[in-house]
A = this chain, B = another copy of it.
């Protein structure tokens, strides 16, 4: 039996109801049902409607299931960029989206600020020629975030045809977006949704769909099985193109029911309260300090701290109390710790974590 509480930034602690949902899934033999059955269509529809309710997603958005957020980077470029994309980069994951565009032969431009910094939205100039503008709402590697008000400023900064993509891999359902101001939002389920990994969720509006069709009709290859038109065709009948991760779609629907029962407002308030507690601790600590300087750029969901104690030592100490945080990303592996503050983490667990971190001075 493993009693550890995982504050790692994904995979992370499972939402507390997941083990019982998994038990029910096994009892109902969800792993054996056909992905072309009515039973699967109901599972798909439940996950979709749960997500629409939680995120207050407008009708012009489609909910598409793929295998990871990493896959979405690739599909986004294939389906929505003929020639040029533009990327805000301030960490390893936003950088990876930019690199994906280049690997796929596009002319990718980047506006880069140092790791751990947020963006000065006012000063960013988006080229007229950018067809896709990649914003990073929450950089999982560095803990820097872009407030929703900043994201909402981009529609007036980009050309009329440009599509605005928002990486929310480790933040949704916390940010309350104005979905009319963006065109696509995506995440993977092993972060804030507290599920096992193996499912990416791609929210796209009709403008993304139209662009993909236009490229396809113009004779361009936009991929094979996971093109936007192919994904949509199946999504409209609550199915997927290939045999998907049925079990995870089932679990997502169940967890969304639980989250909707609690209510997104309560989740957001709890997220803020726990984040405030964590940042207050970091500011008062002798061993830790917030890695992101400007308070308005500090993520509420993936909180990164500079640490005078090596991250491996921090986790050795925490392990005696069945607790674990994430180490820093890449070259910050030992110099930083990352604390996930997801809906799965209860206020009591956060309190215990801070108490034990406090023992390190």
A173 at the interface (CB under 8 A from B): no
Could you tell me the dominant secondary structure of chain A's interface residues?
A: loop
Contact A198 B248 (CB under 8 A): yes
Give 1 or 0 for each of A20-46: 1 = CB within 8 Å of chain B CB. 001100111111111100000000000
Cα(A241)–Cα(B196), bound, Å: 17
Asked whether A195 and B27 contact (CB < 8 A) given A104-B224, A225-B71, the answer is no
Nearest Cβ distance between residue A70 and chain B, in whole angstroms? 4
Nearest Cβ distance between residue A237 and chain B, in whole angstroms? 16
Contact B74 A35 (CB under 8 A): no
Contact A225 B31 (CB under 8 A): no
Which residues of A (153-183) have their CB < 8 Å from a CB of B? none
What is the count of identical protomers in the complex? 2
**Interface size bracket, A side:** 35 or more
- Closest residue on chain B to residue A31 by CB atoms: B196
Cα(A197)–Cα(B249), bound, Å: 11
Which of A1-9, A128-136, A274-282, A288-296 binds B?
A1-9
A247 at the interface (CB under 8 A from B): yes
Give 1 or 0 for each of A313-346: 1 = CB within 8 Å of chain B CB. 0000000000000100000000000000000000
